[in-house]
Amino acid sequence: MQDDGTAEPAGAGREAFPPPEEAPRPARRRGLALAALGVFGELLITLGLVLGLFVTYSLWWTNVQADRSASAASDRLRDAWASPGGGSSATPGATPSPGGPPRFAAGDDVGFLHVPAMGDGYQVLIRMGTSTEVLDEGVAGVYEQPYKAAMPWDPSGNFALAAHRDGHGAKFHDLDAVHKGDSIVVETKDKWYVYKVDSTLSETSKYDTGIVAPVPARSGYAAPGRYITLTTCTPVYTSRYRMAVWGSLVRVDDVDAKRTPPPELRHS
């Protein structure tokens, strides 16, 4: 249809009215208008296709990229752990400080987050920082602002994490499936930190920074303790609100030689 409109409007007009006295003028004008309308329609179709491609990009391609990058980084971290004196070289992971717990700078890989409620074998790499560059790599980012998160081995504080709900790995896509009583396990080089979920918040403003405070607001916690907070956006496919899941530390297990997971992670 479009071909006819744009291809030969003048010719068609001339053929239809052999003696071109007054006919060609409106006919040509109508032909031009039709051609313009055709181009406009094609532009709209193009816009629709581009928007469709953007959805494909956001919900599929960014996942492919993020999963690829996170999986490579996870392998690097596990390799660094497995090698003697692991993590001490310029690899991602711990920067050891003599005589103290490891210190991590922005972009360093800390360990792994396991949440059985989000699926069997669910595992997400934990990396310092919540910048777009960090989170877009398909990891759970450790908050450094507005509140600097405490690390799991710190005597008290809140280990606050964020990850994407959709796209870029969508690691917290199923965060709404985590309920009170569920287990959250943080795996580091030589410890399993086992948390139990105490409360969840299904929706709050994105300015509600109190939810990642050392004693998280609205969580029901009143005194300092060793907490974990998982945050992402809600509802799915938007960034309108934020949601949070809070847990407290119940146990710390040593990692054995075979890295046997704690009972919470074994298939129930």
The piece of 67-75, 94-102, 228-236, 248-256 that touches another protein (CB under 8 A) is 228-236
Beta bridge partners of 95: 103
Catalytic residue among 124, 185, 233, 265: 233
Indicate the residue among 17 and 54 with the shorter CB distance to another protein.
Answer: 54
41, amino acid identity: G
| Torsion angle of C-alpha atoms 235, 238, 239, 243, degrees rounded to 10 | 20
Cα–Cα dist 100/104, whole Å: 12
Question: Total residues contacting another protein (rule CB under 8 A)?
Answer: 50
DSSP state at residue 103: B
- Does position 105 bind another protein by CB under 8 A? no
Residues listed for the chain: 268
Task: Name residue 252's beta-bridge partners.
Answer: 193
Q: Is 83 in the site for another protein (CB under 8 A)?
A: no
Contact yes or no for 28/9 (Cβ under 8 A): yes
11 touches another protein by CB under 8 A: no
Q: Which is nearer to another protein, 152 or 169 (CB)?
A: 169
**Cβ atoms of 186 and 122 closer than 8 Å:** no
In the bound complex, what is the minimum distance in angstroms from residue 64's beta carbon to another protein? Answer: 11
> CB of residue 262 vs another protein: minimum separation in angstroms?
28
| H-assigned helices in 83-161 | 132-135
Task: Please state the closest distance from residue 84 (CB atom) to another protein, in A.
Answer: 35
Residue 153 DSSP symbol: T
233 is catalytic: yes
- By CB under 8 A, is residue 132 in contact with another protein? yes
CA angle 205, 208, 212 (to 5 degrees): 130
Query: Residue 253 interacts with another protein (CB under 8 A)?
Result: no
Per CB under 8 A, 203 contacts another protein: no
Residues that bind another protein (CB under 8 A): 2-3, 6-7, 38-39, 42-43, 50, 53-54, 57-58, 61-62, 129-136, 141, 143-146, 162-168, 172, 204, 206-209, 211-212, 231-233, 237-239, 242
- Give the residue numbers marked as catalytic: 233
